[in-house]
Amino acid sequence: MTDEAVRVHGLRKRYGAVAALDGVDLDIRRGEVFAILGPNGAGKSTAVEILQGHRARDAGEVSVLGRDPASAGRAWRSRVGIVWQDESAPAELTVAETVRHFARYYPRPRDPGEVIGLVGLGEKVASRVKALSGGQRRRLDVALGVIGGPELLLLDEPTTGFDPAARRLFWELIRRLTDEGTTIVLTTHYLEEAEALAHRLAVIAAGRVIARGTPAALRERYGSRATVHWLGPDGATRAEETATPTRTVAELMRRFDGEIPGLRVSRPTLEDVYLRLTGQLGEEPRTEPRTEEPTALEDTR
């Protein structure tokens, strides 16, 4: 057994003239939460479907829990939990019937009642799936993803439709699963979710990984400039973006002879970094340096 739950090298997938994945490399360690971020159409769902063995790749090497998903059998599939973007629960069954039914597919499932409680559907056990709200049906999808006690859990936009309380409950479930040793791969459009849960992440745009690392490392590398805010003599807010906020504050202290009115120093969030990386702040999208042929510039980073 290696420390890697997932290893991907040179992954490629085309749909006609469109390159959904164009040479993607990923390594995901056992027991970590790994987030895959990117705009719509970036290739996130295609990557997850290939990891699931649900979609064939055109080229590249893929290993998931030590097996190639394209040829892995039923025993391997029982070790992998999946939460699809689309709902998968039958409409006419109750919540309890649905979770118990799916539990029979696995050799060592979790207790259905426990799982229903973990996703916050304890008061809906007797409700039919068709009577649930959109957010409640999404919680049921999460329950079906974890009922088998998977070693690896693949989550494709799992909290779409969740209200804030349900999303926080989901976060606690993910942390509990991670504490138990489950490896989790998460795609999400909620940047605060990635920042709260992910040990590491990769940003994908136009089928290529353009950045990867811990949330803190990406903020440091791509969003190191801070913004200093204060109130001017006329009461209007002033702001200055700077790489040396301490020096700016010291200059303001001299200017105001002490206390600086309305002083506030803010640093870029993961969302700010993500928008800059993907070119959604009016800048050109970034490109991750290719490690196989480093340039002099890359060597100095």
- Please choose, from the candidates 179, 217, 177, 172, the residue with its C-alpha nearest in 3D space to the C-alpha of residue 193: 172
Please give the backbone phi and psi of residue 72, each rounded to the nearest 5 degrees, phi first: -70, 150
Geometric angle at alpha carbon 90, from 84 and 95, rounded to 5°: 95
Q: How far is CA 194 from CA 72, 184, 191, 198, 216, in A?
A: 29, 12, 5, 5, 11
* CATH number for the domain running over 4-79+150-218: 3.40.50.300
Domain ranges of the chain: 4-79+150-218, 225-267
- Report the DSSP pairing between strands 4-15 and 18-29: antiparallel
Please give the backbone phi and psi of residue 152, each rounded to the nearest 5 degrees, phi first: -130, 130
- pLDDT value at position 293? 34
- pLDDT value at position 280? 60
In the chain, the largest separation of any two C-alpha atoms, in whole Å, equals 72
Averaged pLDDT, groups of 10, the chain, 301 residues long: 87 94 96 93 91 95 96 93 80 93 94 94 94 89 93 92 87 93 93 92 92 88 83 90 89 89 86 78 51 33 28
Q: What is the pLDDT of residues 222-236, one digit of tens each?
A: 876 788 999 998 889
pTM: 0.80
- Give the C-alpha separation, 28 to 11, whole Å: 15
